């Protein structure tokens, strides 16, 4: 793969349009033409101030709806498809944040902010007429989940923070440690790529792929992985994250949610893969900082636990969401 995606890390009323493709053939198609394919059942587009976002709703169970927040930023939600199994109990909303996946173009860097993506998420929630939702964020999506809760706590029933990127300086420090576990040739390639600021060289990309195979995915879904790369918006990714997993230079570089964790008053579940670059030690520490939070390490999985062990991930999250709903009904 050619893109340095940083492992998908670290991603008032609106009208719904009925023309467009949920999965265009290329990143260019995603950015410039969302009207030449037919939508599938449950899919739609929602107009937001800077363009339009693709979303899909599956399930009609009686549980509180859950909205999935994918990683990136600048990528799509393809890799989160396994979490649609949660729809056995509740509506599940999977959407692509503006600029990535099947959503419309987004090139204005002045709008590439946490506040923009929070407002976009609130437009989606409001358009679906959901007063309260569970938020399930993964990687960069955990930043979005926490910041949405800080802005709109009245609309959040719970937070599931999967493979969280809540302390970006610590994330970068840990990935530097993981870098040392790579082959000598990969370590040299990373050092040279960073020195030359050449992140597209074959040697550098091979090093990144070695890292991915250890700490990002163990059993990738090749079809959805291909879609993820083809529809990635690297302008957003580079602006907010940076050029590589190990060199974070974007606007999220100093993001640290630790001071906010003690103030979260809704139920929280932290999950992390056994071999996750998010680091089980770090995630367990963050769970301990969050009042009443649950922690679950997903065995035999790396960062994309949705692919590596979807059964264990869905079971842990499904149980948590049902417990939260049951407690809410009692109150």
Cα separation of 51 and 56, whole Å? 17
Would you say residue 66 lies in a domain?
A: yes
Known catalytic residues? 139, 276, 303
Cα separation of 84 and 184, whole Å? 40
**CB neighbours of residue 40 within 10 Å:** 10
> For the segment 262-309, what is each residue's pLDDT rounded down to a tens digit?
999 999 999 999 999 999 999 999 999 999 999 999 999 999 999 999
Cα separation of 95 and 284, whole Å? 28
Between 131 and 12, where is the model more confident?
131
Would you say residue 145 lies in a domain?
A: yes
Cα separation of 58 and 114, whole Å? 27
SS3 73: coil
> For the segment 15-62, what is each residue's pLDDT rounded down to a tens digit?
333 333 333 333 333 333 444 446 888 999 999 989 999 999 999 899
Cα separation of 196 and 92, whole Å? 44
Would you say residue 248 lies in a domain?
A: yes
Mind giving me the DSSP string for 236-284? HHHHHT-SSSS---STTTT-B-HHHHTT--S-EEEEEETT-TT-HHHHH
Structural contact between residues 199 and 238, judged by C-beta atoms closer than 8 angstroms: no
- The confidence score (pLDDT) of residue 266 equals 98
- The confidence score (pLDDT) of residue 330 equals 83
> For the segment 206-242, what is each residue's pLDDT rounded down to a tens digit?
998 999 999 999 999 999 999 998 999 999 999 999 8
Give the pLDDT band of residue 142 (cuts 50, 70, 90). very high
What count of Cα atoms within 13 Å lies in the side-chain half-sphere of residue 21?
A: 17
What count of Cα atoms within 13 Å lies in the side-chain half-sphere of residue 200?
A: 1
pTM comes to 0.89
SS3 206: helix
- For residue 274, give the CATH number of its domain: 3.40.50.1820
Would you say residue 1 lies in a domain?
A: no
Burial of 61 (0-12, 13-18, 19+ CB in 10 A): middle
Cα separation of 69 and 133, whole Å? 12
- The confidence score (pLDDT) of residue 38 equals 66
First to last CA, the chain: 50
Owning domain of residue 22: 6-330
The count of domains in the chain is 1
């Amino acid at each position: 793969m050619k893109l340095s995606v940083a492992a998908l890390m670290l991603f008032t009323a609106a009208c719904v349009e009925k023309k467009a493709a949920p999965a265009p053939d290329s990143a260019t198609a995603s950015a410039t033409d969302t009207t030449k394919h037919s939508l599938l059942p449950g899919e739609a587009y929602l107009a937001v101030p800077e363009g339009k976002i693709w979303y899909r709703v599956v399930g009609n169970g009686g549980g509180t709806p859950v909205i999935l927040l994918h990683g990136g930023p600048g990528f799509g939600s393809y890799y989160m498809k396994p979490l649609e199994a949660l729809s056995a109990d509740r509506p599940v909303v999977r959407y692509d944040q503006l600029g990535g996946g099947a959503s419309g173009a987004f090139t204005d860097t002045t709008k590439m902010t946490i506040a923009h993506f929070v407002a976009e998420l609130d437009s989606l929630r409001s358009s679906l007429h959901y007063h309260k939702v569970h938020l399930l964020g993964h990687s960069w999506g955990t930043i979005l989940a926490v910041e949405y809760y800080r802005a709109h706590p009245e609309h959040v029933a719970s937070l599931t923070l999967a493979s969280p990127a809540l302390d970006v300086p610590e994330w970068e420090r840990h990935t530097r440690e993981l870098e040392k576990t790579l082959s000598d040739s990969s370590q040299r390639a990373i050092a040279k790529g960073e020195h030359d600021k050449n992140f597209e060289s074959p040697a550098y990309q091979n090093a990144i792929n070695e890292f991915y195979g250890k700490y990002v995915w163990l059993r990738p879904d090749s079809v959805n992985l291909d879609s993820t790369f083809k529809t990635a918006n690297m302008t957003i990714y580079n602006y907010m994250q940076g050029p590589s997993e190990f060199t974070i230079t974007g606007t999220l570089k100093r993001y640290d949610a630790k001071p906010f964790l003690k103030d979260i008053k809704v139920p929280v579940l932290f999950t992390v893969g056994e071999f996750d670059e998010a680091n089980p030690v770090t995630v367990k520490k963050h769970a301990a900082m969050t009042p009443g939070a649950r922690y679950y390490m997903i065995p035999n999985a790396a960062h994309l636990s949705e692919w590596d062990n979807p059964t264990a991930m869905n079971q842990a999250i499904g149980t948590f969401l049902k417990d939260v709903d049951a407690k809410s009904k009692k109150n």
